[in-house]
Chains A and B, each alone.
Chain A
Amino acid sequence: MKALTINNISKSYKKKAALKNISFEVDKGEIFGIIGPDGAGKTTLFRILTTLLLPDSGEIKVGNLDIVKDYKKIREIFGYMPGRFSLYHDLTVAENLEFFASVFSTTVEDNYDLIKDIYSHIEPFKKRKAGALSGGMKQKLALSCALIHKPQILYLDEPTTGVDPVSRKEFWQMLKNLHNQGITIIVSTPYMDEAVLCDRIALINNGEFLDIDTPENLIKKFPKKLYAVEGDNMPKLLKELRDNENVYSCYSFGDSCHITLKDETLPNNYKEITPTIEDYFILLLK
Chain B
Amino acid sequence: MENVIVVNNLTKKFGHFTAVDNISFEVKKGEIFGFLGANGAGKTTVIRMLCGLSRPSAGNATVAGFDIRHQSEKIKANIGYMSQKFSLYEDLKVWENIKLFAGIYGMKKKDIALKTDILLEELGFQDEKQTLVSALPLGWKQKLAFSVAIFHNPKVVFLDEPTGGVDPVVRRQFWELIYKTAEKGITVFVTTHYMDEAEYCDRVSIMVDGRIEALETPKALKEKFASNSIDDIFYQLARNAKRTDD
Contacts and interface: CB of A to CB of B under 8 A. Distances in A.
Interface stretch (B7-15, B16-24, B32-40, B96-104): B32-40
Contacts of B200: 234, 252
12 contacts: A36-B167, A37-B139, A37-B166, A134-B245, A135-B245, A162-B193, A164-B38, A165-B235, A167-B39, A169-B235, A251-B172, A286-B169
Interface residues of B, number: 41
Contacts of B241: 166
A235 interface: yes
Interface stretch (B74-82, B120-128, B175-183): B175-183
A245 interface: no
A254 interface: yes
B196 A254 contact: yes
B168 A134 contact: no
Most buried by B among A38, A39, A164: A164
Contacts of A238: 176
B40 A39 contact: no
Interface in B195-246: 195-196, 199-200, 218-219, 229-231, 234-235, 238-239, 241, 243-246
3 closest pairs, A vs B, by CB?
A37-B167, A38-B165, A254-B196
B175 A134 contact: no
B38 A166 contact: yes
A161 B165 contact: yes
B138 interface: yes
Nearest to A170: B239
Contacts of B176: 235, 238
B65 interface: no
A265 to B, nearest CB: 28
Interface string A245-286: 000000111110000000000000000000000100110011
A109 interface: no
B170 A37 contact: yes
B67 interface: no
Nearest to A189: B165
B164 interface: yes
Given A37-B170, A254-B195, 14 more contacts: A36-B167, A37-B168, A38-B138, A134-B245, A136-B40, A137-B244, A162-B84, A164-B193, A166-B38, A234-B179, A252-B175, A252-B200, A278-B168, A286-B169
B142 to A, nearest CB: 10
Given A164-B238, A165-B238, A281 B168 contact: yes
Contacts of A205: 167
A63 interface: no
Contacts of A162: 39, 84, 161, 164, 193
Contact of B39 (A163, A235, A252, A255): A163
Nearest to A134: B245
Contact of B218 (A135, A164, A255, A281): A255
B108 to A, nearest CB: 32
Interface string A103-136: 0000000000000000000000000000000111
